[in-house]
Structure 1
Amino acid sequence: MGYRNLQDCVEDLERHGMLRRIDTPVDPCLEAGMIQRRVYQAGGPALLFTRVTGSAFPMLGNLFGTLERTRFIFRDTLRTIDTLVKLKINPFLALKEPARLLGAPLGALHLLPKTVSADQAPSLSCRTTLSRLPQLVSWPKDGGAFITLPQVYSEDPARPGFGKSNLGMYRVQISGNQYQPDKQAGLHYQIHRGIGVHHQEAIKRGERLKVNVFAGGAPSMSVAAVMPLPEGMPELSFAGLLGGHRIAMARVPGCLPVPAEADFCIVGSIDPHATLPEGPFGDHLGYYSLTHPFPFIEVEAVYHRPDAIWPFTTVGRPPQEDTSFGAFIHELTGDLIPAVLPGIKAVHAVDAAGVHPLLLAIGTERYTPYDGVTRPLELLTQANAVLGQGQLSLAKYLLIAAEQDNPELDIHDIGAMFRHLLERVDWRRDLHFQTATTIDTLDYSGGGFNSGSKLVVAAAGPVRRCLLTELPGDIPVPSGWSDPALALPGVLVLQGSAPVPDNGEPDQAIQALCSFWEQRALPDGIVLVVIADDSAFCSRSLDNFLWVTFTRSNPAADIYGVGAATRQRHWGCSGPLVIDARRKPFHAPPLEEDSAVEKRIEELASAGGPLYGLF
């Protein structure tokens, strides 16, 4: 049955050749993170750094670095979870395949945590301080050291207990900025996170919010902390289900409970009204999230088990280790989508675009079955439902197609999805904007914190056009624009100079470009034009195209069109759609490696070096 702690997991992975010990000294400031990212890109093993500069605790990285290893870690419980998920979808499965349900009742017993005394909890055996923890700094401009695999635990102040608890993975800054050393830690949680409900209740009651931060323990705890669970299901319950055992929680007088098998437990509380600057931090969109005021934890104690291991990850431009998290979560929950969102057959948050900037969906058109599928109808209702569902609501671009148009369409074949949509879309009709709304906290394309716009593109009906697959040599381009390239069938990328500082007005140069193409039309089959700083880079790969286009554009401000017009307050265009995906002056800076550290890591990885063969 599943691992009860991180030590059992490490031992098992090493026994199966899935973990490598690194016994040479490694600095947690920049070096450990760069090594982990390199090994992840190479599809390498989990890494145990045994000699960490400035800390007595070993560090474990790349634990979930491949989907295969993640499946291996939870191999004992995946069948039970699959059974329970299918029961949720089809209660009659019990009658059709009763043999598959034999393990389900036992698995369900693991949903309920159990309480143990403090003297039965290895996690409470020893004490330390924040400054003695590994000071992980992932990127050169990070504002300090961060916990990157934290499990932040809180309970509803009005209804204490695990039943209304929340376990979320919200980054925690343990040094730098204005934080008092060893006494304060920044708590960065984004919009639409469960802890926000508890925080609001604490403000309402005028009391401090108790918060614990766990690191390590059963690997199922880390996965549970990032699971998009339905409201009312505590993450601790899912951790027990995935881990194959009830999660043992120990009581600490005057504090929230802590997992008995955790490696580290930071115990404290937050003033419901106080904030301090947090960040910057190199984040998973491939840019820094900047410094902003966030709540902070007043640290009362830092506990650890005697054999504690510090787990960590680093994030950056996808794909990274959190990509494996996302793929694993989709495997566990993807079949539930039709039950949660009627009519929706599948959704795909595109990792290469930073997850929230681009969401693909396949729905069904059932409004007028007597008339066939000729245009989006029910798809629009379904799109609204998607944008009202949990973290799917953070999507900035939602592209939705009708299943009836191609029942074999695979939502994970992104190139095929774009081809399908661009063959059918009518830009005069199929663009639906939300112009002043909330977007992902980490997305700065809107020019404000947590603010920007959204665009739904709903395409249904018969094929309207053939897409251009080879670029002719005579693309009409006016002065100031250069290097046209084809990123995908029907998608032209054009290079333009850096945009002028944004003043809230449309870019006159792009408007002039659209007017030019009204007079000298682009070749048939070009449906979408992306303006980029570097057209060769943007068009070099599908991942580059997705990252540039959807992380660097704000729909309401950066979308133009050839033959644009507004009718009954509905904007559209008769010619190609144009997206300005150049970097803007207010955008967050992209992540870049430290060249000196890069050189040292290359030396360690050379023949005979301690990292040789890892990447």
Structure 2
Amino acid sequence: MGYNNLQECIRDLEAAGRLVRLDVEVDPYLEAGVIQRRVYQAGGPALLFTRVKGSRFPMLGNLFGTLDRARYLFRDTLPALEKLVRLKVDPGEAMRAPWKNLGLIRTLWNARPKFVSNGPILAGTCDLTDLPNQVSWPKDGGAFVTLPQVYSESPASPGWMHSNLGMYRVQFSGGQYAPNREVGLHYQIHRGIAVHHAQALERRQPLRVNVFIGGPPAMTLAAVMPLPEGMPEISFAGMLGGHRMELVPAANGLVMPAHADFCISGVIDDTKTLPEGPFGDHLGYYSLEHDFPVLRVDRVYHRPDAIWPFTTVGRPPQEDTSFGALIHELTGEAIPTVLPGVRAIHAVDAAGVHPLLLALGSERYVPYDPHKSPRELLTQANAILGQGQLSLAKYLFIANSGDDPALDIHDIPAFFRHVLQRVDWTRDLHFQTRTTVDTLDYSGLGLNEGSKVVIAAAGPPRRTLPTTLPRDMRLPDGFDVPTICLPGVLAVQGPPCVRNRHAQDPRMEDLCRELRDTGQFQEWPLILVVDDSAFTAASLNNFLWICFTRSDPGCDIYGVGASTICKHWGCTGPLVIDARSKPHHAPALEPDPEVEKRVDQLAARGGPLHRVI
């Protein structure tokens, strides 16, 4: 029941035909990442690289590469966890049929870790330079741990009960880090480790940190799981893994999993920071170089048969998409118990997760009023934006579920069609400016700083969305190639953006005035100004990625017939979003053509990846 370690998992996947071994030498610098991304895009198997250039440790890629395989890994325990969620949603279920829930006692018992004095992780030590030098993108600043499990405990209340396990970026080569002595620890805003770090600084004491790599796959998923406050991730790992997690002490006094493959153990002992990055991130761009805390490494542990699991982070969808899908399956039913009135939430992976949230809420404040307008939806939107990592959303579209009970929040074109048919741009835009956004999002005013907008729609349809271009259309000079993305959504190619980061673009204001004066495109509720309208409209994913990663609501939303009344901004004509690349944006990720050609050869007839990619 469950896997005790990564080696058991690999043997099981290989026996089931879900894993392929690559016995040719593979370079962890760029090449392994290209292979993993190609196999992921093909819906292919997990990959075991047995000959890694420059390292004695094998590498494992694409372990969570399909949702089906992720479910397979936890097939013995997912039903019990889903049952626990249902009991939270409906506690009366346990009273109606208690005999059906007796098996949950064991699941709950597995939440408590088991402390042991010895384990495979204590068998060996190595230097950071012995680890696979994995670099995913040509402009990455060095080698990174891409599936880290970063463990810390509260200095105010030490012990596993007040611990945090998170997936925070770990750079172990390059930059200004002392070789074999220091690693960069990049944790984004609103992460649990920040609370522990703040407590350590307040007490003027070091923060002990252990970085686990590998071990039971349940530990990896636990590190990204959004859990209720007060529930340690290591407890969830035990329930998901089907057994109590065995923990042994490391050199710094913290625990580490006895069956982990590697553990980088050390302390953050002062306020020292160093530039970390650049690194290809989950928005599809490079997160740039910024100062982040430094972990002084005391020891690097590894088990005798250690395997280095890795992934590639880049423009979605990527392997971490499976994490999001599995998390939604486990937690979706519980959303109404956490956020009353909210029926469903969808963090849109193709838009980089945090930039775009879709939500279905309820309008119950004035059921006797035949003129439906967003009221309770706004209360629910505020609750969503005050909830954990959901607070990092930039765009939140929320619709009243009662207007169309059959509306599926995961049918993105249908959701946009529903909202755009009903939205009133004079009333339904609600901004928050100068607030926090995702650390990796460069569209705002600065690092961690940007804006949000809630777009709430309720009531019957107020317009029919156009699906064809007008014959007599004309646009102002510099704007051309109008292309339809979705019903009611038009992409227009604009001139290169040169605006200052802290200002709006006069060319966009001119465009809105001309559209108002000429009456052109008034029937289109949403117009995007982009660098390449054909690319933007070529697929739904392109539209989502371009629109929501390349715009900040406060800086980049304009409107035809715009006005501010009693400090509420709105417009009578189309909403216009400037989704062009800006001078302050991070560059988009691009692969190395020569490495791509090498991988093509591996996929050719007779090659080890033939018929895999």
What is the deviation of 1:372? 4.0
Residue 27 of structure 1 pairs with residue 27 of structure 2: yes
User: Which residue of the partner structure matches residue 74 of structure 1?
Assistant: 74
Going from structure 1 to structure 2, the CA distance change for 1:373 and 1:139 (only over 3 Å counts) comes to farther
1:208 touches 1:272 (CA, 8 Å); kept in 2?
yes
What is the alpha-carbon distance in structure 1 between the residues aligned to residue 338 and residue 371 of structure 2?
24
Going from structure 1 to structure 2, the CA distance change for 1:475 and 1:53 (only over 3 Å counts) comes to same
SS at match of 2:219: helix
1:220 touches 1:243 (CA, 8 Å); kept in 2?
yes
SS at match of 2:417: helix
User: Which residue of the partner structure matches residue 382 of structure 2?
Assistant: 384
What is the alpha-carbon distance in structure 2 between the residues aligned to residue 588 and residue 154 of structure 1?
31
1:113 touches 1:236 (CA, 8 Å); kept in 2?
yes
What is the deviation of 1:395? 0.3
User: Which residue of the partner structure matches residue 341 of structure 2?
Assistant: 343
Residue 167 of structure 1 pairs with residue 169 of structure 2: no
What is the alpha-carbon distance in structure 2 between the residues aligned to residue 580 and residue 2 of structure 1?
49
Equivalent position amino acid for 1:94 in 2:
A
Give matches, 1:135-146, under 5 Å. 135-146=133-144
What is the alpha-carbon distance in structure 1 between the residues aligned to residue 283 and residue 503 of structure 2?
26
1:268 touches 1:297 (CA, 8 Å); kept in 2?
yes
User: Which residue of the partner structure matches residue 194 of structure 1?
Assistant: 192
In the comparison of the two structures, how many residue pairs are matched?
613
1:476 touches 1:520 (CA, 8 Å); kept in 2?
no
User: Which residue of the partner structure matches residue 423 of structure 2?
Assistant: 425
What is the alpha-carbon distance in structure 2 between the residues aligned to residue 189 and residue 75 of structure 1?
31
What is the alpha-carbon distance in structure 2 between the residues aligned to residue 334 and residue 399 of structure 1?
18
SS at match of 1:24: strand
What is the alpha-carbon distance in structure 2 between the residues aligned to residue 196 and residue 443 of structure 1?
19
Equivalent position amino acid for 2:6 in 1:
L
1:430 touches 1:458 (CA, 8 Å); kept in 2?
yes
1:447 touches 1:587 (CA, 8 Å); kept in 2?
no
SS at match of 2:210: strand
Deviations 1:44-89 (A, max 9, x none): 0000000000000000000000000000000000111011111111
Give the counterpart of 1:121 among 119, 136, 144.
119
Larger mean CA deviation between 101-110 and 241-250 belongs to 101-110
User: Which residue of the partner structure matches residue 248 of structure 1?
Assistant: 246
User: Which residue of the partner structure matches residue 304 of structure 1?
Assistant: 302
2:501 touches 2:584 (CA, 8 Å); kept in 1?
no
What is the alpha-carbon distance in structure 2 between the residues aligned to residue 61 and residue 88 of structure 1?
35
SS at match of 1:213: strand
User: Which residue of the partner structure matches residue 332 of structure 1?
Assistant: 330
User: Which residue of the partner structure matches residue 361 of structure 2?
Assistant: 363
SS at match of 2:454: strand
Equivalent position amino acid for 2:245 in 1:
I
TM-score in terms of structure 2 length: 0.99
User: Which residue of the partner structure matches residue 611 of structure 2?
Assistant: 613
Give matches, 1:99-110, under 5 Å. 99-110=99-110
SS at match of 1:352: helix
What is the alpha-carbon distance in structure 2 between the residues aligned to residue 508 and residue 100 of structure 1?
65
Give matches, 1:151-550, under 5 Å. 151-252=149-250, 254-372=252-370, 374-502=372-500, 504-523=502-521, 525-550=523-548
SS at match of 1:371: coil
Identity %: 64
1:199 touches 1:272 (CA, 8 Å); kept in 2?
no
What is the alpha-carbon distance in structure 1 between the residues aligned to residue 370 and residue 196 of structure 2?
48
2:522 touches 2:573 (CA, 8 Å); kept in 1?
no
1:427 touches 1:574 (CA, 8 Å); kept in 2?
yes
Displaced runs of 4 or more, over 6 A:
none
Residue 65 of structure 1 pairs with residue 65 of structure 2: yes
SS at match of 2:368: helix
Equivalent position amino acid for 1:442 in 2:
L
SS at match of 2:26: coil
What is the deviation of 1:308? 0.5
Equivalent position amino acid for 2:34 in 1:
M
2:176 touches 2:274 (CA, 8 Å); kept in 1?
yes
Equivalent position amino acid for 1:354 in 2:
G
Equivalent position amino acid for 2:607 in 1:
G
What is the alpha-carbon distance in structure 2 between the residues aligned to residue 255 and residue 176 of structure 1?
28
Deviations 1:304-356 (A, max 9, x none): 00010000000100000000111011111111110110110000000000000
2:185 touches 2:295 (CA, 8 Å); kept in 1?
yes
SS at match of 1:355: coil
Larger mean CA deviation between 502-511 and 260-269 belongs to 502-511
SS at match of 2:40: helix
What is the alpha-carbon distance in structure 1 between the residues aligned to residue 276 and residue 69 of structure 2?
33
2:560 touches 2:574 (CA, 8 Å); kept in 1?
yes
SS at match of 1:240: helix
What is the alpha-carbon distance in structure 2 between the residues aligned to residue 421 and residue 375 of structure 1?
13
Residue 15 of structure 1 pairs with residue 15 of structure 2: yes
What is the deviation of 1:291? 0.3
What is the deviation of 1:501? 3.6
What is the alpha-carbon distance in structure 2 between the residues aligned to residue 96 and residue 353 of structure 1?
42
What is the alpha-carbon distance in structure 1 between the residues aligned to residue 232 and residue 370 of structure 2?
43
User: Which residue of the partner structure matches residue 574 of structure 1?
Assistant: 572
What is the deviation of 1:99? 4.6
Equivalent position amino acid for 2:156 in 1:
A
2:28 touches 2:133 (CA, 8 Å); kept in 1?
yes
What is the deviation of 1:524? 5.2
SS at match of 2:455: strand
Larger mean CA deviation between 89-98 and 103-112 belongs to 89-98
What is the alpha-carbon distance in structure 2 between the residues aligned to residue 383 and residue 130 of structure 1?
45
Equivalent position amino acid for 1:178 in 2:
Q
1:255 touches 1:267 (CA, 8 Å); kept in 2?
no
What is the alpha-carbon distance in structure 1 between the residues aligned to residue 502 and residue 128 of structure 2?
44
Equivalent position amino acid for 2:263 in 1:
C
SS at match of 2:327: helix
2:252 touches 2:265 (CA, 8 Å); kept in 1?
no
SS at match of 1:226: coil
Deviations 1:276-328 (A, max 9, x none): 11000000000000000000110000010001000000010000000011101
Equivalent position amino acid for 1:60 in 2:
L
Equivalent position amino acid for 1:150 in 2:
P
What is the deviation of 1:30? 0.1
What is the deviation of 1:373? 5.8
| Structure 1: segments with no counterpart, 5+ residues | none
What is the alpha-carbon distance in structure 2 between the residues aligned to residue 64 and residue 257 of structure 1?
26
2:499 touches 2:505 (CA, 8 Å); kept in 1?
no
RMSD (Å) for aligned C-alpha atoms: 1.0
SS at match of 1:25: strand
What is the alpha-carbon distance in structure 1 between the residues aligned to residue 374 and residue 467 of structure 2?
26
SS at match of 1:525: coil
Equivalent position amino acid for 1:46 in 2:
A
Going from structure 1 to structure 2, the CA distance change for 1:253 and 1:435 (only over 3 Å counts) comes to closer
What is the alpha-carbon distance in structure 2 between the residues aligned to residue 22 and residue 371 of structure 1?
65
What is the alpha-carbon distance in structure 2 between the residues aligned to residue 109 and residue 277 of structure 1?
43
1:167 touches 1:224 (CA, 8 Å); kept in 2?
yes
SS at match of 1:614: coil
Equivalent position amino acid for 2:476 in 1:
P
Going from structure 1 to structure 2, the CA distance change for 1:28 and 1:44 (only over 3 Å counts) comes to same
2:398 touches 2:454 (CA, 8 Å); kept in 1?
yes
What is the deviation of 1:517? 1.0
